[in-house]
């Protein structure tokens, strides 16, 4: 009986030892799993920390880009406002330019075609005529409005010409109806004689230095008698002063009067000259002495 109990206890001990060994092995496996999991957790924590740092960097960069975006938005708003203002100003200037061009055309101006937006102009009859001048350029004008200076090159509005130029362009009948006074008509003829070779009888002389051209009072007196047959010598002398005064007035003082000391037959005398200064601002022409 005792042997049986000893045998049973021995068997029980062996069983317990086997269970202990198995549990020890299990504990070892669990510890290895724990260590492996611990390493895995550390690895994941390191990666998480890395991702968190990257996320912080991205957030900082995002904030920087956000600030730049706000700056860009403000700059875009400013540029949009500037563009709108420029467009409004350009539109206003274009309307003003069209109005000025229409006025000049109505006064008889010829405008270069490339500078005119025909769709913006409001002119009588809503028609413009295209002409090509001696310079090869295309011009626009109101239908049948001749060139104010009739030379095929210069394009000025009739209203921009000096009164003496306007009268000089007229024919005899028109000039007589526009100016009753003989000195005024003679002043216009005198100007035309200077600028139109077709007249033939030109009393003007070439000047020098500050004087482009001039006509002496004595030459003017003879010229008046040639242009107005039947005028006496004494009346021609009176007309000289009146013609000079009329020329000064009609040229808006572009012309001037100089006094020149001359010597003839041993005698010294002072004679007046009607002078066109070299720097005179004459519409449609450039003056200049030798």
Residue 251: partners with Cβ closer than 8 Å, 6 or more residues away: 162, 163, 164, 191
Q: Is the dihedral of CA 278, 221, 181, 171 positive or negative?
A: negative
The token duo for 131 is 């002409």
Q: Are 138 and 119 in contact (CB under 8 A)?
A: no
Question: Does the pLDDT value for residue 168 go beyond 80?
Answer: yes
Q: How confident is the model at residue 288 (pLDDT cuts 50, 70, 90)?
A: very low
**What does the pLDDT look like over 237-267, one tens digit per residue?**
999 999 999 999 999 999 999 988 777 766 7
Q: Which two tokens stand for residue 106?
A: 């109505």
pLDDT digits (tens, 9 = 90+) for 42-82: 898 888 888 888 888 888 888 888 888 888 888 888 888 88
- What local confidence, expressed as pLDDT, does residue 96 receive? 79
Residue 22: per-residue pLDDT: 85
Q: What is the pLDDT of residue 14?
A: 85
The per-residue pLDDT for 97 is: 78
Please compute the mean of the pLDDT values over residues 147-168 and round it to a whole number: 64
- What is residue 246's predicted lDDT score, i.e. its pLDDT? 93
Q: Given pLDDT bands bounded at 50, 70 and 90, which one contains residue 144?
A: low
Q: Are 273 and 216 in contact (CB under 8 A)?
A: yes
For position 277, what pLDDT does the model report?
Answer: 92
Nearest to 212 by CA among 290, 129, 134: 290
What confidence score (pLDDT) does residue 134 get?
A: 67
Lowest mean pLDDT among 93-97, 185-189, 269-273: 93-97
Task: Indicate the pLDDT class of residue 178, thresholds 50, 70 and 90.
Answer: confident
Q: What is the pLDDT of residue 191?
A: 93
Average pLDDT, the chain: 82
Distance CA(168)–CA(272), nearest Å, equals: 23
* Alpha-carbon 39 to chain mean position: 77
Contact yes or no for 278/254 (Cβ under 8 A):
no
**Domain spans of the chain?**
161-277
Say yes or no to pLDDT of 203 above 90.
yes
Residue 145: the pLDDT is: 55
Instruction: Summarize pLDDT for 217-239 with one digit per residue, the tens.
Output: 999 999 999 988 888 999 999 99
Report residue 116's pLDDT band, with 50, 70 and 90 as the boundaries.
confident
Which tokens is 20 given?
A: 């202990």
pLDDT of residue 152: 44
Element holding 277 (H helix, E strand): strand 267-277
Residue 266 is predicted with a pLDDT of 66
Q: Which pLDDT tens digit goes with each residue over 4-46?
A: 787 888 888 888 888 888 888 888 888 888 888 888 888 988 8
């Amino acid at each position: 009986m005792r042997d049986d109990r000893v045998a049973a206890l021995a068997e029980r001990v062996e069983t317990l030892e086997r269970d202990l060994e198995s549990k020890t092995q299990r504990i070892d496996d669990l510890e290895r799993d724990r260590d492996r999991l611990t390493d895995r957790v550390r690895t994941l924590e390191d990666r998480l920390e890395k991702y968190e740092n990257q996320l912080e960097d991205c957030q900082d960069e995002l904030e920087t880009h956000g600030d730049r975006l706000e700056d860009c938005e403000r700059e875009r708003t400013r540029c949009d406002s500037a563009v709108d203002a420029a467009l409004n100003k350009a539109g206003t200037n274009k309307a003003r330019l069209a109005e000025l061009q229409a006025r000049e055309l109505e006064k008889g101006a010829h405008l270069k075609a490339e500078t005119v937006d025909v769709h913006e102009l409001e002119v009588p009859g809503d028609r413009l005529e295209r002409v090509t001048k001696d310079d090869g350029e295309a011009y626009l004008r109101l239908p049948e409005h001749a060139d104010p200076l009739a030379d095929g090159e210069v394009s000025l509005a009739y209203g921009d010409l000096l009164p003496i130029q306007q009268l000089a362009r007229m024919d005899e009948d028109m000039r007589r109806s526009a100016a009753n006074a003989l000195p005024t008509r003679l002043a216009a003829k005198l100007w035309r004689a200077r600028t139109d070779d077709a007249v033939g009888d030109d009393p003007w002389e070439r000047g020098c230095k500050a004087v482009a051209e001039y006509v002496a009072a004595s030459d003017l007196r003879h010229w008046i008698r040639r242009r107005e047959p039947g005028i006496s010598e004494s009346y021609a002398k009176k007309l000289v002063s009146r013609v000079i005064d009329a020329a000064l007035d009609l040229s808006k003082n572009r012309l001037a009067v100089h006094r020149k000391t001359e010597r003839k037959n041993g005698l010294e005398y002072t004679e007046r000259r009607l002078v066109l200064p070299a720097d005179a601002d004459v519409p449609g022409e450039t003056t200049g002495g030798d």
